């Protein structure tokens, strides 16, 4: 379990200063993630229009996106952060690792801003189905394993975790990139996949559920709360 894994990380830190450093790193990561949740929720208030969401100015989106990524990704990165801190033994190891990790997700945000357009339910459904199929691929399994085991640097860890979570993040973007509800749902899945080992009995039903969500979006988009704006007709693409 995820909590058991964290306890092992704390136990492996050793007595004295090692334990103190590990505890401080764990606390700082959790506090930073909690603070970023508060900031992200405040920035996203009133911005969610489902598939019709607009991103606003680049500065606004960049600030919102970085807060979102730190909120969503830092909790699941804690085991890797602890391993890296223990291995390096440097005071700044934890903040440098975390900052470079979030920097990778910030680069993903730049790509999102460049490519994103308000869209319709057809595009949303297709992307969600593709994301579900991706969850079943060897590529996904490879990056998920690397994301759980590789903590040599924040940059490498970030690239592995982008490979693992890119389908889930694409789902967030097309369903409501400024939706707190979808942010919570996707964050829960991302954290669980980082903390728990891959198991077909869980992973396959999850992938099928994502594919099923995409099918429902295509067939009956009005059944998904918040997907379509309540004012004015929304084009299908």
Quick one: average pLDDT of 63-78? Answer: 96
pLDDT-based confidence at residue 149 (cuts at 50, 70, 90): confident
Tens digit of each residue's pLDDT (9 = 90 or more) over 151-206: 789 999 999 999 999 999 999 999 999 999 999 999 999 999 999 999 999 999 99
User: In the chain, where are the structural domains located?
Assistant: 2-223
Q: Would you place residue 237 in the very low, low, confident or very high pLDDT band (cuts 50, 70, 90)? A: very low
What band does 4 get if pLDDT is binned at 50, 70 and 90? low
Gap between the Cα atoms of 185 and 226, Å rounded: 14
Exposed, middle or buried: residue 20 (CB in 10 Å: 0-12, 13-18, 19+)?
exposed
CA pair distance 151, 166, nearest whole angstrom: 19
pLDDT per position as a tens digit, 81-113: 988 888 877 768 889 999 999 999 999 999 999
Q: Are 164 and 147 in contact (CB under 8 A)?
A: yes
pLDDT tens for 117-138 read 999 999 999 999 999 999 999 9
């Amino acid at each position: 379990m995820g909590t058991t894994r964290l306890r092992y990380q704390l136990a492996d830190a050793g007595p004295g200063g090692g334990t103190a450093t590990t505890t401080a790193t764990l606390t700082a990561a959790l506090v930073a993630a909690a603070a970023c949740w508060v900031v992200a929720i405040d920035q996203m208030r009133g911005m969610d229009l489902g598939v019709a969401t607009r991103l606003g100015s680049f500065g606004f989106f960049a600030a919102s996106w970085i807060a979102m990524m730190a909120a969503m990704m830092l909790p699941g990165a804690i085991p890797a952060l602890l391993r890296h801190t223990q291995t390096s033994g440097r005071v700044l190891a934890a903040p440098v690792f975390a900052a470079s990790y979030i920097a990778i997700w910030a680069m993903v945000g730049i790509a999102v801003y460049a490519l994103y357009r308000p869209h319709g339910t057809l595009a949303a459904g297709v992307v969600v189905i593709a994301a579900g199929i991706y969850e079943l691929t060897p590529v996904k399994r490879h990056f998920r394993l690397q994301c759980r085991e590789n903590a040599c640097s924040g940059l490498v860890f970030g690239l592995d975790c982008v490979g693992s979570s890119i389908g889930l993040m694409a789902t967030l973007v097309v369903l409501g990139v400024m939706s707190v509800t979808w942010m919570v749902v996707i964050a829960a899945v991302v954290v669980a996949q980082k903390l728990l080992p891959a198991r077909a009995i869980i992973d396959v039903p999850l992938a099928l559920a994502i594919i099923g969500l995409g099918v429902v979006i295509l067939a009956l988009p009005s059944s998904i709360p918040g997907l379509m704006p309540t004012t004015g007709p929304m084009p299908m693409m």
